[in-house]
Chains A and B, each alone.
Chain A
Amino acid sequence: MPTLIEQARSNKPAAASILPRAIWPLLVGLAIGALMFYVIGPGMGDYPSKIVLIAGINIILAVSLTVVNGFTGQFSMGHAGFMAVGGYVAATITYYGSMKLFGSADPAGGVLSFTGGADKPTALARWGDALFIGSCLMGGVGAAIAGYIVGLPSLRLRGDYLAIVTLGFGEIVRVLLQGTHEQIQPWRVEDALAKPVYELAISLGGPKGFQLLPTYTTLFWVYLFVVVTLIICYRVKNSSTGRAFLSIREDEIAAQAMGVDITKYKVRAFVLAAFFAGVAGGLYAMDIGAINAGDLGFLKSFDIIIMVVLGGMGSISGAALAAIILTILPELLRNPPPVWPVGLVLIALIAGVSSYRKRFRWKPIIVIAIASTLLEVGRQIALSKGINVADFRLILYALLLITMMLVRPQGIFGIHEIWEILPGYARREAARNGARGGSQGGKP
Chain B
Amino acid sequence: MSTPPIVLDVQGISISFGGLKAVQNFSLKLPRGRLYGLIGPNGAGKTTVFNLLTGVYQADSGTITLDGVKLNGLKPHQIAAAGLSRTFQNIRLFGELSVLDNVRLACHLRGKHSIWSTILRSAYHMGQEAAIHRRSLDLLGILGLDSRAGEQARNLPYGDQRRLEIARALATDPKVLLLDEPAAGMNPQEKKSLRDLIRQIMRQFDVTILLIEHDMGVVMDICERITVLDYGVTIAEDVPKEIQKNPKVIEAYLGEAAPAAH
**A-side interface residues toward B, CB under 8 Å?**
3-5, 7-13, 15, 18, 21-22, 232, 235-236, 239-244, 246-247, 250-251, 253-262, 268, 272, 314, 414-415, 426, 429-430, 433, 436-437, 440-444
Nearest B residue (CB) for A425: B150
Task: State in angstroms the CA–CA spacing of A13 and B141 once bound together.
Answer: 25
Q: Chain B, 121-135, contact with A by CB distance < 8 Å: what is the 0/1 string?
A: 111111111111111
Nearest B residue (CB) for A14: B123
Could you jot down 5 A-B contacts, CB within 8 Å? A11-B127, A11-B131, A13-B126, A247-B94, A258-B85
Q: Identify which of residues 105-163 in chain B touch chain A, using a CB-to-CB cut-off of 8 Å.
A: 105-113, 115, 118-135, 137-139, 141-142, 146, 149-150
Q: Spot the interface stretch: B18-26, B73-81, B233-241, B247-255.
A: B73-81
Task: State in angstroms the CA–CA spacing of A239 and B113 once bound together.
Answer: 9
Task: State in angstroms the CA–CA spacing of A7 and B81 once bound together.
Answer: 18
Query: Quick check: A436 and B111 within 8 Å, CB to CB?
Result: no
Query: Quick check: B138 and A259 within 8 Å, CB to CB?
Result: no
Nearest B residue (CB) for A246: B97
Query: Quick check: B141 and A437 within 8 Å, CB to CB?
Result: yes
**B-side interface residues toward A, CB under 8 Å?**
54-56, 75-77, 80-81, 85-86, 88, 92-97, 100-101, 104-113, 115, 118-135, 137-139, 141-142, 146, 149-150, 168-169, 171-173, 204
Query: Quick check: A441 and B121 within 8 Å, CB to CB?
Result: no
Task: State in angstroms the CA–CA spacing of A204 and B243 once bound together.
Answer: 78
A4-B132, A240-B104, A437-B146 known; A259+B109 contact, CB < 8 A: yes
The 7 closest A-B pairs by CB, nearest first: A259-B109, A8-B128, A11-B127, A437-B137, A259-B80, A256-B76, A7-B131
Residues of B within 8 A of A314 (CB): 96
- In terms of DSSP, what is the predominant structure of the interface of chain B? helix
Query: Quick check: A243 and B126 within 8 Å, CB to CB?
Result: no
Task: State in angstroms the CA–CA spacing of A388 and B124 once bound together.
Answer: 58
Residues of A within 8 A of B107 (CB): 4, 240
Residues of A within 8 A of B75 (CB): 256, 261
Query: Quick check: A250 and B123 within 8 Å, CB to CB?
Result: no
Residues of B within 8 A of A441 (CB): 134, 137-138, 141
Residues of A within 8 A of B125 (CB): 239
CB distance from B163 to the nearest CB of A (A): 16
Nearest A residue (CB) for B91: A254
Residues of A within 8 A of B97 (CB): 243, 246-247, 250, 415
Given contacts A8-B124, A258-B80, 7 further A-B contacts (CB under 8 A): A3-B110, A5-B110, A235-B119, A240-B107, A247-B97, A256-B76, A257-B92
